[in-house]
């Protein structure tokens, strides 16, 4: 074979090889992505042609259902009877925008499998049920509605848990949106409007948005001191008007620049009740970076939260970052600087203290049922971590009870009930502070633990504190759950 022919043959061979690789890539690797892309008309037809199972709250209230179209009973539309109430938890399934929330996490169970594919035919021959399955959730519609109403038109979130099991009782994020407005083929404009809204109603602020936790983090700093034997509730600390930070011109001041009570010394219990920054800044430096980081991670920071979908992890800096920066350590002990947490994580921290130091895995799906109503799978509560001992949890719980009884969290108090909590007013550096409250009740036998955050102080703006803005929201939920609901 002469040279020119050899070159042509090589070129043709290379071209065929590239073509073969391209076809292989498209079919074997990229193919599933093209097949499942919501813009694929076949996907839209497939979604409309499949009935999906019911999603019910803990009391049987319908949160999602499929309804047959009047003009074509073989096609279905997904309907969300509660409107915008569960948009960030139940989510949606859309022919244009795919699945989200539990509709995504449990898409396989919710979808009918009557496709007449080879695998479906085999399943049918083996007697397996091809009908859509139903989900029963732990969410309580009345509590969810109250959480949304209490947040109002403010940006924020509420997460409420059963501390003994990890069951999610309420999961509210505001502003929210009505999934019924974006499930059809002609709803692209509505989706675009939601996407461009500066208030970001599509954002899940409960599990996929993190904030500086502010003084709510002091429960971790206090727990680290008590657990390690560094300090107890009656241990006294110097009570300066401001804390000078070593190697820095910066200082830490208490709220409004006041002393932490009278006298030259103050106990840890009193500093916690009054949420004194100077004491906790000093305590963080006394503990050291390794101890504080280890305690934060024991409570769930820097770890993936086991949940129905991927929740944003909390962030506490690596201890190496504090090697030559004690001011940063002091500020981190106050839940500031680079510390970040979601409301879901902070609710889990409150639940661990409520549950004697045992932190349960959070879950939202209590059970999966077949079309006949028979239980297919039931969630079994599981322990996620044991961040502190029962003795430490008992001491911290007592300190948190004093916060609500006569400290910064009195607006979370419910007459006749023992409520524990911790307020937080987290500085953002660019605007009004975030207002926080975490807590649980009743102290003697907790059945609800929660976290509330209101972004940038909500309607109170620069004047916001956790005690004035977030605590009253928690109070409404405690009162309803413990005195008015049929729990």
Cα–Cα distance for residue pair 294/123, rounded to 1 Å: 49
Give the contacts of 311 (CB within 8 A, at least 6 positions apart).
207, 208, 304, 305, 342, 344, 345
Place of tokens 């916060």: 403
Is 95 a catalytic site residue? Answer: no
Contact 158, 450 (CB under 8 A): yes
Cα–Cα distance for residue pair 5/11, rounded to 1 Å: 10
Active-site hit among 95, 105, 215, 332: 215
Calculate Rg over the CA atoms of the chain. Answer: 27
Give the strand pairing for 251-253 and 242-244. antiparallel
Give the contacts of 445 (CB within 8 A, at least 6 positions apart).
none
Rounded to the nearest angstrom, the gap between the alpha carbon of residue 147 and the centroid of all alpha carbons in its chain is: 14
Rounded to the nearest angstrom, the gap between the alpha carbon of residue 444 and the centroid of all alpha carbons in its chain is: 26
Contact 100, 88 (CB under 8 A): no
Burial annotation 40-78 (CB, 10 A radius, 16+ → b, else e): eeebeeebbebbbbbbbbbeebebbbbeeeeeeeeebeb
Q: Which residues pair with 172 in a beta bridge?
A: 158
Tokens encoding 129: 């049920």
Closest to 477 in 3D by CA, of 60, 62, 137, 151: 151
Closest to 290 in 3D by CA, of 316, 251, 252: 316
Residue positions annotated with a catalytic role = 215
């Amino acid at each position: 074979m002469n040279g020119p022919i050899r070159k042509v043959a090589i070129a043709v061979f290379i071209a065929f090889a590239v073509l073969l690789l391209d076809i292989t890539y498209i079919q074997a690797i990229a193919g599933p992505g093209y097949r499942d892309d919501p813009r694929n008309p076949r996907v839209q037809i497939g979604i409309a042609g499949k009935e999906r199972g019911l999603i019910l709250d803990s009391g049987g209230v319908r949160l999602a259902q499929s309804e047959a179209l009047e003009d074509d009973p073989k096609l279905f539309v997904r309907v969300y009877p509660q409107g915008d109430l569960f948009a960030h938890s139940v989510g949606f399934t859309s022919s244009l925008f795919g699945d989200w929330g539990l509709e995504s996490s449990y898409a396989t169970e919710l979808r009918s499998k009557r496709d007449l594919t080879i695998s479906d035919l085999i399943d049918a021959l083996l007697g397996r049920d091809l009908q859509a399955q139903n989900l029963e959730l732990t969410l309580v519609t009345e509590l969810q509605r109250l959480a949304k109403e209490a947040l109002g038109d403010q940006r924020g979130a509420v997460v409420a848990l059963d501390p003994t099991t990890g069951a999610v009782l309420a999961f509210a994020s505001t502003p929210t949106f009505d999934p019924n407005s974006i499930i059809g083929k002609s709803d692209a404009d509505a989706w675009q409007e939601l996407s461009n809204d500066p208030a970001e109603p599509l954002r899940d602020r409960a599990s996929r948005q993190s904030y500086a936790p502010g003084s709510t983090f002091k429960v971790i700093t206090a727990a680290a001191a008590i657990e390690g034997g560094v300090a107890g509730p009656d241990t006294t600390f110097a009570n300066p008007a401001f804390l000078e930070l070593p190697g820095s011109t910066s200082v830490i001041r208490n709220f409004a620049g006041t002393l932490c009570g009278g006298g030259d010394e103050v106990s840890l219990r009193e500093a916690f009740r009054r949420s004194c920054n100077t004491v906790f800044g000093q305590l963080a430096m006394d503990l050291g970076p390794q101890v504080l980081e280890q305690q934060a991670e024991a409570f769930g920071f820097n770890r993936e939260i086991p949940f129905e979908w991927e929740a944003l992890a909390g962030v506490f800096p690596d201890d190496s970052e504090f090697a030559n920066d004690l001011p940063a350590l002091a500020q981190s002990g106050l839940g500031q600087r680079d510390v970040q947490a979601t409301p879901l994580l902070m609710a889990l921290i409150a639940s661990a203290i409520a549950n004697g130091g045992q932190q349960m895995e959070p879950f939202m799906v209590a059970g999966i049922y077949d079309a006949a109503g028979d239980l297919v799978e039931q969630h079994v509560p599981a322990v996620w971590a044991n961040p502190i001992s029962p003795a430490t949890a008992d001491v911290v719980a007592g300190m948190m009870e004093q916060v609500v009884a006569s400290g910064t969290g009195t607006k979370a108090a419910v007459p006749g009930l023992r409520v524990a909590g911790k307020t937080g007013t987290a500085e953002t550096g660019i605007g009004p502070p975030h207002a926080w409250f975490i807590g649980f009740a009743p102290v003697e036998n907790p059945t609800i633990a929660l976290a509330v955050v209101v972004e940038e102080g909500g309607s109170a703006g620069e004047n916001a504190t956790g005690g004035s803005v977030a605590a009253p929201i928690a109070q409404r939920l405690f009162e309803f759950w413990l005195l008015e609901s049929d729990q």
